[in-house]
Structure 1
Amino acid sequence: MEFGDERAIRWLRRTCGDDAIRQVVCQSRRISKRTANFWCLLLNIPKEKVACLSKRSLNPLKDFWSN
């Protein structure tokens, strides 16, 4: 999903299907924001449903661990 050309995109869509790709895009926090935005545009996914595009926690990790 991160790398490839138009041919790779066609293969992925044909092999996995758009529903499976939507599920990965929405749930994965391991894809880049650029990749997530691309798939959102291609598959009409609302950005607010994409985990890696959501706002981070209001309490950063360093504050959580500090005394």
Structure 2
Amino acid sequence: MNKHCCNDMTYHANFKCDIHKDLFECPDKLIFFHERDNDYGLIIHDGGSSSIEILFCPWCGKKL
């Protein structure tokens, strides 16, 4: 069984950058997934480590 709601969310939640060590520095990393709390967030690429919690998948629309 897939941990995430769709293939797109699985890709973005598990994305690992080969260039950036800090996931918040990578412009290609869009989703932050906190596995312990099962929370998802859209990363705000402003130079910090902020994200906005999301409750629905931006790709398939399912409740997270």
TM-score (norm 2): 0.25
Higher-Rg structure is: 1
Which structure shows the bigger proportion of residues in helix conformation? 1
